[in-house]
């Protein structure tokens, strides 16, 4: 009898432990679980993240995101109301969602790694991510008076919104009779749009031509490759660094210069391009840039002097730059040894030696 009592007690203990375990286990939430909820109106998944719209009743809608890694969900603060139209960027770094009930709506762009850093812009029609995920194709109302009275005061331009800098640029400007609506933007940079003119509609396509700044950034984002680096360096003299920041954000020039300082620059043409760019930078950008000059000089002084001899008017400026980064205070550098090397070099002709000697003399004069 006692044996049965102990068995019964054991069964009850096990049952109790199972019950407690089931209570505390955090069962995984899947995309399907979310889609099947009665109050979920829309979902979009990219990788481990599912963004969804939850209706709390009476059209009180909120935006939430579920992280499969953490098995947790949270509300994206500040995005409520009549929200709809979730869409992910192609690289999964951003998602967008729309809010509003009229033709002009608010489009929110949310970075997945920092939900609080969301941006918003007023748009008309679809908001479409570019293939590189750095831009949006949108319709925006302009200030031109419409020929025919409608809900809008102005007509609709086709425009590019730069996500990193939060700036806008017209792509096609409409007149008082015309509206443009975005349709698609494919991987070949073909932009499809709808042109509406006095009730007549046409589906048209234009080829988006990336700027030199976009071509440059696309090159340096590729895998490390000497030929790619050479192409990028060849574009440097023609870059508009203000436009680069407009497209890629305020730190993009510093990121470019950081990349440049790590490149193995050997070709004479590339060294000349580098030297000619010295006047384009000030402050932190200047010091990061001349680090590249110093690296090239330290690696092969003969090759550097040969390149500098093609633009001898830059000799004094280069000497000051090398002094600004104290190149001859670094381990392995000796100004007297270099002067002797230049004077006795069989690789330099007399004019090249003159440039090299001037460079050393200008550097030495900076220290007196």
**Rounded CA gap, 53 and 32, in Å?**
14
Could you tell me the maximum CA-CA distance found in the chain, to the nearest angstrom?
113
All residues at 6 or more sequence positions from 140 whose CB lies less than 8 Å from its CB, including other chains: 121, 122, 123, 124, 156, 157, 159, 168
- Judging by beta carbons within 10 Å of its beta carbon (0-12, 13-18, 19+), is residue 18 exposed, middle or buried? exposed
C-alpha 96/C-alpha 86 separation (Å) is 6
pTM: 0.77
Q: What is the mean pLDDT of each run of 10 residues along the chain (368 residues)?
A: 54 50 43 79 94 88 92 92 96 96 96 93 97 95 89 94 93 95 97 94 96 88 69 90 89 91 91 93 94 95 97 97 95 95 95 97 88
Residue 205, both tokens: 């396509």
Closest CA to 274 of 297, 248, 299, 247: 297
Contact present, 148 and 199 (Cβ < 8 Å): no
Which H or E element spans position 359?
Answer: helix 350-366
- Residue identified by tokens 């790694």 is 113
* pLDDT at residue number 18: 44
Q: What angle do CA 270, 276, 279 make, to 5 degrees?
A: 140
d(C-alpha 173, C-alpha 116), whole Å: 33
Report pLDDT for 20: 42
CA distance 142 to 135: 20
- Residue 34 DSSP code: H
User: 154 and 142 in contact (C-beta within 8 Å)?
Assistant: yes
């Amino acid at each position: 009898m006692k044996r049965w009592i102990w068995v019964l007690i054991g069964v009850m203990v096990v049952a109790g432990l199972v019950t407690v375990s089931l209570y505390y286990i955090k069962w995984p939430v899947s995309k399907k679980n979310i889609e099947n909820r009665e109050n979920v109106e829309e979902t979009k998944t990219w990788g481990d993240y599912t963004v969804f719209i939850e209706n709390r009743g009476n059209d009180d809608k909120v935006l939430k995101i579920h992280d499969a890694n953490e098995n947790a969900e949270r509300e994206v603060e500040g995005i409520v109301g009549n929200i709809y139209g979730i869409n992910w960027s192609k690289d999964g770094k951003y998602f967008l969602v729309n809010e509003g009930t009229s033709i002009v709506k608010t489009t929110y762009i949310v970075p997945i790694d920092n939900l609080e850093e969301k941006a918003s812009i007023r748009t008309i029609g679809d908001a479409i991510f570019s293939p590189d995920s750095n831009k949006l194709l949108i319709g925006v109302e302009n200030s031109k008076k419409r020929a025919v009275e409608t809900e809008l005061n102005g007509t609709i331009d086709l425009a590019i919104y730069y996500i990193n800098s939060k700036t806008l640029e017209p792509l096609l400007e409409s007149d008082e009779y015309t509206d443009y609506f975005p349709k698609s933007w494919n991987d070949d940079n073909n932009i499809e749009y709808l042109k509406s003119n006095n009730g007549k509609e046409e589906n048209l396509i234009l080829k988006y031509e990336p700027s030199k700044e976009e071509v440059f950034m696309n090159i340096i984002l590729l895998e490390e490759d000497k030929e790619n680096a050479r192409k990028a360096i060849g574009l440097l003299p023609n870059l508009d660094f203000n436009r680069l920041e407009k497209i890629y954000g305020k730190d993009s020039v510093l990121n470019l210069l950081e990349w440049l300082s790590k490149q193995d620059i050997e070709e004479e043409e590339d060294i000349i391009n580098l030297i000619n760019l010295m006047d384009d930078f000030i402050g932190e950008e200047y010091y990061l840039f001349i680090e590249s000059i110093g690296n090239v000089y330290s690696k092969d002084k003969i090759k550097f002097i040969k390149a500098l001899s093609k633009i001898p008017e830059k000799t004094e400026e280069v000497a000051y730059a090398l002094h600004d980064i104290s190149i001859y205070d670094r381990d392995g550098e000796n100004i007297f040894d270099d002067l002797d090397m230049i004077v006795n070099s069989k690789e330099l002709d007399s004019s090249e030696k003159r440039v090299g000697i001037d460079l050393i003399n200008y550097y030495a004069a900076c220290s007196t």
